[in-house]
Amino acid sequence: MKDEERISQPEKQLAELLKRSLPPVDRELNRDLWPQMLRRLEEHPRQPNWLAALLSPAAMASVPWFDWALLAALVVGVCLFSRSIPIWLYHF
Amino acid sequence: MERISPPPELFEQFAAGDLDAFESLFHQFQGEVYAWIVRMVRDPAAAEELTVETFWRIYRAHARFDASRSFGAWARRIATNVALDYLKRARIEETPLEDDPPASAQRGAGTPDPAVRREVRDRVRLALQQLPAKLRVVATLALIEDYPHAEIANSLNLSTAAVKSRVFRAVQLLRKKLGNLE
């Protein structure tokens, strides 16, 4: 058995003890879980896709810190030099 | 048992947020996900709840699913995280085991004593429950379920060396807790 090659003697002894001591579990699923899943889906309706994508922690975390710094600089610039906004708009 | 693999467009439809596609995938993979979870948590009722929780997370993360990759492997990783979260929450309070087993457990070897065997079983179960969740999962999969380290590593998103290290640490802790029961 390949496991005998990969595990050490103490591990093998302990594995035997664990197997003898713990009751085996039934790995077969005996009923359909879809009704429970459906209930869950109904309890928590999905947010609109764009909003969920925009506000998800994964999306936030994926933005590099440098982009956040640029955004902050832009906001500060707009606040400090608000009179220049029409000039920028004219040029772009 | 060989499962008929779903058509590739089903994965694309699921990734696009199609609920019917999700239902099809749920029916095809619920047994596999349940079997994986019940191996780790060893409680059928909890495993059913965690299977639903796994698919709930899968459903919410549909947009992040890459349809060109294995849905089964992705689902297994999510199921492993769900099981780990459960084991962290369910981990019982650290109750110190006695340093020496009780006198009844030290009777002559080879004398079958149902009471002692039950005591031993309880001590082993308790020792396993007291392991930190991440060690408990690898110990269960490697030592009880005989999964190869590489497969465990893939499911836990770890290197094989990290799995070996966790198995080693779990064995050390279990041996320390179980004393001379082995």
Query: Is pLDDT at A48 greater than 70 in this prediction?
Result: no
CA of A4: which chain B residue's CA is closest?
A: B146
Residue A35 lies in a domain: no
CB B171 within 8 A of CB A10: yes
Rounded to 5°, the CA angle A26-A31-A32 comes to: 130
The percentage of residues in chain B with a pLDDT greater than 90, rounded to a whole number, is: 57
Q: How many CB pairs under 8 A join A and B?
A: 97
Host domain of residue A73: 62-92
Interface predicted TM-score of the whole assembly (ipTM), two decimals: 0.75
pLDDT at B111: 38
Between positions 20 and 39 of A, the ones with CB within 8 A of B are: 21-22, 25-29, 31-34, 36-37
For residue B35, the one-letter residue type is A
Q: How many domains does chain A have?
A: 1
Residue A80 lies in a domain: yes
Q: In angstroms, rounded to a whole number, what is the distance separating the alpha carbons of residues A80 and A87?
A: 15
Q: In angstroms, rounded to a whole number, what is the distance separating the alpha carbons of residues B39 and A29?
A: 12
Mean pLDDT, rounded, for B160-166: 94
Measured CA distances, B124 to A8, B143, B170, B171 (Å): 20, 13, 13, 12
Q: In angstroms, rounded to a whole number, what is the distance separating the alpha carbons of residues A20 and A16?
A: 6
Residue A86 lies in a domain: yes
Residues of B with CB under 8 A from a CB of A: 17, 19, 23, 26-27, 30-31, 34-35, 38-39, 42-44, 48, 51-52, 55-56, 59-60, 63-64, 120-121, 124-125, 128, 139, 142-144, 146, 148-149, 167, 171, 174-175, 178, 181-182
Residue A26 lies in a domain: no
Residue A22 lies in a domain: no
Q: Is the whole model's pTM more than 0.90, yes or no?
A: no
Residue A43 lies in a domain: no
Residue A74 lies in a domain: yes
